[in-house]
Amino acid sequence: MGGVLMNRLIMPFAGFTSVLISAASALAGYGTVTWGNWSWDPVSGVGDVEVMWQSDTSLYGFQFDVPDGFEVLALTGLECDEGWSLYHNEVRVLAFAAQNGAEIGASENSVGLIRMDFFASGGELSFVDAVFAAIGGEEIETDSSDTLDLEQQQCSEDIYPSGAGDGQVNVNDVLAVLGDWGASGSPYDVTGDGVIDVNDILAILNAWGACE
């Protein structure tokens, strides 16, 4: 097995399974995890959000916690569907490839790993103590700094960053579309027609400004 061997320990934690990965030295590649498309009802407190992933190495498993004030309700596999095992308790998400060939391959574009249903009264959603692992439990160096402010205004044309938006339809959204021009399955597909083209640019220009 290439790279630095990792020690992988599986242990019970308050009736839940926790995977802890400890590195001997170097890490196995680099990746970025972000929040993707999301919705949240401030009346019921129930919402859902996609977890997006991009990396230069294959992904075999991951875990992260949610911050205080958030509760994980359910998980649905996107790319982490067939051949993956998904677990959660109120604060932790755990997923790993349970079959050979089920790993998520390296990609220059972000892919949706899972959809997470959650409960919150508001606040900022972040990745807490996130660990993403390659084959053999080798840890992938991961940028998990992305956050999601549930109380920001939403509009469908506000697709940057990572399809979650920042409350403004502006040049950042245009640049995101141009960066994925011609791609299919992109999180920056404003019109939802399956391809990035001039219609997405026109939709952004038509909604220019702050989301209301």
- The CATH code that applies to domain 168-210 is 1.10.1330
Q: pTM for this structure?
A: 0.68
Query: How many Cβ atoms are within 10 Å of 22's Cβ, its own excluded?
Result: 11
- Phi-psi sector, 20: left (phi>0), alpha (psi -120 to 50), beta: beta
pLDDT in tens, the chain (212 residues): 333 323 443 443 444 444 444 444 456 799 999 998 888 888 899 999 999 999 999 999 999 999 999 999 999 999 999 999 999 999 999 999 999 899 999 988 889 999 999 999 989 999 999 999 998 888 999 999 999 988 776 677 888 876 557 778 899 999 989 998 988 878 888 888 888 999 999 999 998 987 76
Q: Enumerate the CATH 1.10.1330 domain ranges in the chain, comma separated.
A: 168-210
What pLDDT score was predicted for residue 8? 40
What pLDDT score was predicted for residue 162? 65
Pairing of strands 61-65, 128-133: antiparallel
In 1-138, the DSSP E strands lie at 7-13, 16-22, 30-40, 46-55, 61-65, 70-77, 84-88, 92-97, 107-120, 124-126, 128-133
CA-only gyration radius of the chain, Å: 18
What's 7-146's CATH class? mainly beta
SS3 193: coil
What pLDDT score was predicted for residue 129? 95
- For 101-142, what is the HEC assignment? CCCECCEEEEEEEEEEEEEECCCEEECEEEEEECHHHCEEEE
| 151 alpha carbon, distance to own chain's centre | 19
CB 186 within 8 A of CB 180: yes
What pLDDT score was predicted for residue 26? 54
Please state the φ and ψ torsions of residue 122, each to the nearest 5 degrees. 145, -165
- AA letter at 118: F
> Residue 164 has which token pair?
């979650």
Q: Enumerate the CATH 2.60.40.290 domain ranges in the chain, comma separated.
A: 7-146
What pLDDT score was predicted for residue 17? 46
